[in-house]
Structure 1
């Protein structure tokens, strides 16, 4: 029951006697903020609702590449993002930790299985070629947040949880509850649900979200450590192991003789019945780091942050219901192996902002929202889902058989006729050029 309905101060939510031309975005993560930024740059007013009190600081995604990196390049934050982060040429596949012959009692990253060198295929990419930008998700979100506010057309409201959605035909009404349980109603031309895997928008719209969940949980740990044996050219490693597979990625350039902030992600035995709270106890985090982090024993590390995750392969039955649209984790979820999670969400945001701009500023038809939904679901079903699934299974294999994998063999043997079309998909299939598709299919005059 609505106790109070009020409009907050800020930019206008109406457009005189004409149709509304503003957008509400639910969720102030990188996906929602990227939509808001792009719309603000296009002269479209945006109100962002975020249920939490601040931008998330959880250790989540950290790598952006290929089509997703190209999308970031087109934003005004790109230069600052490259200064805060750093570029990788590729990553390694390795077996589990082994003893360090040069330092008694120390462990080092396991035997090298293959090096995936993105920079060898620069001709298949664009500026900056096939590189990976490493930048923690919370830092990217902060850049997007500041840039969105600087447009003068984006307002962000924290501690606002969406509880009612109405499609009124010519506009939507979005009602959010604050911490005092008073309700605020916004009217807008459209509403974007970018509020994560447990999306309130998707739930209120009663859109099915089907697929499967992986038995394994993973724990992401941000930790300061020194790896004296680090490969400075390819410092990121995917650990092959049938149970405790994982990833070790420096979140900044590695400086000899100094500790670097690393993201260590490790899978948990699916038969482990401990709670998430027990998994992130300090004692257990140290135990997990002992299975994956290089260095002397006992480990000389400082744990900065950690978070447990359940992994899913699910997709919404539609990304559009009337004037409501979904993007990012609200639309689909997949295993993070291969960095196809947030990056796919950013490509959703890129396509969706262009779609809304065509409708609001260029009088495009509402049916463009269905084109967006169809294309981004197709990309998930035919590319993101199978590719991320095989990335996980590749890492969760027996190291003794890892070199028998077709992709690993192609990388080791530098089989161009296999690698070139495979990696071309990350530029040609993964992104959606919604303007080009709209023109080809006759949506635009």
Structure 2
């Protein structure tokens, strides 16, 4: 492998060009902090993945100058609601109330969101290098971190940065290299997200709203993805009750998952009376684990964790991606204060504590409550148990859970 001996210096090096890494790069670049993003793939991941943006994140989008682009890209899905249904007969338990004059959640495929972020971050001056893979943290000297990276064209490079940010997902190589452990548990279920085409509107379903299904076995979610006929159907598959933690982490095989898809569609998709759903077209299957995990720390010397590299949660409260964006937004404020205003690096320790507390005390319990609420056989009481409904029942002026962090109150100057 050839070695690039040129000097690759940057105040901030981000590993991972997903939504959280790119949002952080955008905010830093807009503030005048030079940043380089390293991404192992040859281009953006254009898969649908996470879809939901809660209105609480809109002020941060507006601050970054992307809110209009996000809402315009979402089109008819820019303000949605959700139906809660019984899987047994598809009947509606209730509909999530949206306060008058306020927007509902926005649905936008993650690949589309990342394209918006890439365009804006590069326009602001961020350097994004695709086809570059993080290899190791070779050495740390003083307040600098040295990172070895290999490129697709066979060149090894070393980057010298003041801060290394891990935005490389739940299996983060950076987190592992830094020796930071996850704490928490893997829940006893295999979660599966499928994308499909099916004429839901033919059966009277709203083309712009999500549908959550309550059932002890056949719980899940069906939601439009792009407003053009592509839908997401997500569900859980029970693991063997006698399986240990090792089996939970391993999950089901792809053959087992693929064989379960028609059975789940039969349970969840609407159809003519007495008939099975017909004519669905499966586009993709994406299995993932039901995990509630958080890193022991989100900062270790020059290494900082954000998004899924820092914490993982199930999707049934719609808080995963939004929490990651709030990580990036608050971290951007902290790094700008340190790099440009000579604030103490201890600000990152306070930021780390605040973000971990936000996950452990707000995100984790709410997402767990949402996950188990859909599996309770008492479906009639779902509105009394689901955290989204509890928040709505507090009244039109009730504030949603605060997921952001104001780092200005932590700033200390050297």
Give your verdict on TM over 0.5.
yes
Q: Which residue of 2 aligns with 1:288?
A: 264
| Alignment counterpart, residue 167 of structure 1, candidates 140, 152, 159 | 140
User: Superposition pairs for residues 75-224 of structure 1, below 5 Å?
Assistant: 75-85=64-74, 86-98=77-89, 110-120=90-100, 129-179=102-152, 182-224=155-197
C-alpha contact (below 8 Å) 2:269/2:277 kept by paired residues: no
C-alpha contact (below 8 Å) 1:64/1:132 kept by paired residues: yes
Q: Which moved more, 1:219-228 or 1:73-82?
A: 73-82
Q: How far apart in 2 are the matches of 1:212 and 1:146?
A: 37
Query: What is the deviation of 1:22?
Result: 2.1
C-alpha contact (below 8 Å) 1:225/1:300 kept by paired residues: yes
Q: Secondary structure at the match of 1:73?
A: helix
1:58–1:288 distance in 2 versus 1, CA, 3 Å: farther
User: Superposition pairs for residues 9-408 of structure 1, below 5 Å?
Assistant: 13-14=8-9, 22-85=11-74, 86-98=77-89, 110-120=90-100, 129-179=102-152, 182-227=155-200, 228-232=202-206, 235-253=209-227, 260-271=229-240, 275-279=252-256, 281=258, 284-296=260-272, 297-398=276-377, 400-403=378-381, 406-407=384-385
Q: How far apart in 1 are the matches of 2:260 and 2:383?
A: 32
C-alpha contact (below 8 Å) 2:55/2:106 kept by paired residues: no
Q: How far apart in 1 are the matches of 2:269 and 2:19?
A: 29
Q: Secondary structure at the match of 1:431?
A: coil
1:164-198 superposed Cα distances (whole Å, 9 cap, x missing partner): 34322131111112346642100112110011111
What are structure 2's unaligned runs of at least 5 residues?
Answer: 242-246
Q: Secondary structure at the match of 1:119?
A: coil
C-alpha contact (below 8 Å) 1:30/1:144 kept by paired residues: yes
Q: Secondary structure at the match of 2:316?
A: coil
Query: What is the deviation of 1:284?
Result: 4.1
Normalised by the length of structure 2, the TM-score is 0.88
1:319-370 superposed Cα distances (whole Å, 9 cap, x missing partner): 0011110000000011111111111101101111111111112221111111
1:302–1:409 distance in 2 versus 1, CA, 3 Å: closer
Q: How far apart in 2 are the matches of 1:384 and 1:74?
A: 23
Q: How far apart in 2 are the matches of 1:336 and 1:33?
A: 21
1:215–1:295 distance in 2 versus 1, CA, 3 Å: same
Query: What is the deviation of 1:278?
Result: 1.2
Q: Which moved more, 1:387-396 or 1:159-168?
A: 159-168
In the alignment of these two chains, the number of paired residues is 400
Normalised by the length of structure 1, the TM-score is 0.82
Query: What is the deviation of 1:160?
Result: 1.6
Q: How far apart in 2 are the matches of 1:7 and 1:46?
A: 20
Q: Which residue of 1 aligns with 2:4?
A: 6
What are structure 1's unaligned runs of at least 5 residues?
Answer: 15-20, 99-109, 123-128, 254-258
C-alpha contact (below 8 Å) 1:59/1:305 kept by paired residues: no
